Structure 1
Amino acid sequence: MTKALIKNSLPITSDSLINIALEYYKDSGDSLAEGDSYYYAGRISLEMQDSKRAMELLLKAADLTENSNDYKLQYLIYYYLGELYIGENLYDFALKKLNKAYYFSRLLNDSSYTAFVRRDIAISFSGKNSNDSALNYYYQALNILPQKDTATLIILFDEMGGIYNTTGNYAKSIQLVNRAISLKPAYKELFYGYLIKARVYLNTQKYDSANYYYNKTIHSPYIYTRASSYEGLASVYSVKGNYKGAFQLMRIYNKCRDSIDLQTKSAAIIEMQNIYQHEKSKEQIQRLILEKKEQTINFYHWGLLSFIFLLLLCGTFFVYRNTVKKKLLEKSKILLEQENRLIKMREKESKLREDFFKKLNNIKKIPSLGVTNENEKIESLDITAKISLTSSDWDELIRNIDIAYDHFTDRLTKVYPNLNIQEIHLCCLVKIKVARNDLANIFCITPQSVKTTKYRIKKDKMGITDKNISLDLFLEKF
């Protein structure tokens, strides 16, 4: 029911309904359903303008869904966390969350989601007065956004017009706002475009035009727009010598600003985030303080009951030592198990590579795998020899890799459906760490072309733009 209300943009005035779901899933063991409930509870808190509560709920939702494969839910959680921080003018916090949202939008391969998050990143940079970066992200959003989404196009053109006005490119600003108006925005959305026009005309000393558009925008339903309109009109009145009118307009502007300040709770938001992130640490500190106080009290008692308390102290010491020793042993056991699992995984990977290439009768040795015929000694190795793989060879490779790496090719094609069969073959060989020379011989291309092909797959087909992440590293962890 809560999802239906939110998706249909119906008004929500109470969180009593979603609290039933929160209570139901709290100790169910279903972390995904619990995280979903926390997400919608956070959305409701945002609707009710309780930013502090919304942040707490959305952060909890992020923790619960961290290891899930529900990329859409994870995108929405981080997107609305970013929106929350933008609303509180906390732009550095917003950028961290929005970059995570962008990562999940790329996994989803959803152009609309990617455009929305790019737009919010642009807003964050604009809030930090980094206008060049903001415009860069706005243009990225425009290039990605489906052209049929005229409502979002209108918003992008208007906001870009505002930035060009700030940078002094007034002609470009008016051009973009006129493009937004030509798309016939809804009545409420017209006001922002008019406000940008008014600012441009004020900056270019066309006071009659500025006065005309400011008088339109004072009727906006949005308090931020109204506040800016009254401030701009006051400037126009002042320039024209109507100081009494300017004074009255500034009084109205200050009332609007007071209302806006009451809605902003940046300090409380930061405090709540710090509380949430360091909650466990604070509990540990409190526990240590309590233990210290108890030890102080016991010290004086031991002075009165020396022998008995000495025995208790010795007993406590031995128990403590045994407990520490037990914990150390447990940690060592866990580390050893992890190391053994890693070794087994690497052995499995090595065996998979070796077994596959040993099955190819026309190959005597693959340099990167160290596969040699034990009955022969190869005096020299031609690193340019063509390696021909049949369809059955490739089928066997994919089958082995899917068994060893949890349906690797199925997951790869699901997340990146634009990959063709040759690119999937290349990803499989990269997954099992076949060297570049061998890849060149298998695909009949140069080693440099192998490098170029890897980069193109990473950038164009997977959308990974981080230069610090190679295709090899990404696929190793995939």
Structure 2
Amino acid sequence: MKKLLFLFLILFFFFSCGRGKAPISESSRIIPDSFAIGLNLYNKGRAVYHHSNNMDSMLFYMQLAEGFFIRDGHKAQVNRYIASVYSARGESDEAIRYFLRASRTAEEWQYSFICQGIADAYTAAGRFREGVSGLDSIRKNMDNRQMVPYYHLAKGNLWAGINEYDSASTYYRIASMSLNRWVAAEASRRLKLLYSSLGKDSCSFYSALAANEHLVNELRREEGVESRTKYEKAKLENELNRLKIDKQRREIWLLSLGLCFVVAFAASYIVWQRRKRQMYKQLWREQSLRLSQTEQLLQQSEELSILREKESQLRESLFRRMKSFHKIPSLEKEEESAEEGNDNQNRRIALSNEEWEDIRQTVDGSYDKFSVRLLEAFPGLSMKDVYFCCLVKINVSIKDLSDIYCISRTSISRKKQRMKRDKLGLTENNETLDDFLRRF
């Protein structure tokens, strides 16, 4: 039983500790990392161009890398690099084509480089009006409003490049009021330089103050956002910790409940075994007691039978001393009685008063003053009745009684009935006079 309890505990701990561990599904299996392959091809293309200045090999590796990349931002980075290479080589048309291609899938942080790269490419080619149109076409691809400030800054730079200072200052002011901190600072700096070059020192000063105030407000807003983010993060961590603690508490509660169940089961089993052993011990004691009592009763019965045998022998020896012993055949042994019964049929047995008295005294000596107790219990009995009861007490046969009283056996039976009913007052039909006197 101890082994079973130990096995039950091991299974309980196994299931309680293994709870929550999901099997490995097909979706969580190791798959090839396409990003790693694309990044390797991208770096290899850059290395090939850097060492050999081979455009065809570089374009081959970059196109392969773009095919392996999944995110649009990674693909835009590939096209932006190709455009920057063409721009450095002075091939403005190819550079502009790849810059426009990159703008279609670019992310927010990439638009600053793309817009400025397009503006520089058109400026280097001297095609300022086309540069404005190109930036406007990029503006149509900007679905997120956070990307627009880069467009305004680049367009302001383009207008400043062709000496359109009013348009440049307009776009710089719009960019300086954006929520993008870097764009706002750069636009304010360029606007201040523009006003300084035009001799508008007061406008440059106020523009610098406005840019500084805007920058301070933006920094405060960013700090507030950062603080709020930290607060939400801490709140989320606290909630996760609370959920973990609740889960641990539930697991501890279930484990404690299981342990209590095991302890209760073990205690119940131990108590049951102890009571079972006590019951077996009690049954063994009772059986031992019964056996000892039975043995004692058998011994007492044996002793009683021995005593009775001795008593009958003593009574027989006592009866043999009676003067009338040999006159009454039923008091002698069965063999002698049978022989005399065959020789002496219907003989008369005469007893003197002395012999009658001897019979009474012998019966009193053998049966604890039988006649005295009989007279005390039934005072209406005569001495003849007492003598008759003494003969019945010592089992004198009906034949001998008929010989003693010189009447028939039927008359002896009637005499017993009258003695029982009239003299002793016994009315029970299931008990004869012989039975009553034997136990009296």
TM range (shorter): 0.3 to 0.5
Rg: which structure is higher? 2
TM-score, length basis structure 2: 0.34
TM-score, length basis structure 1: 0.32
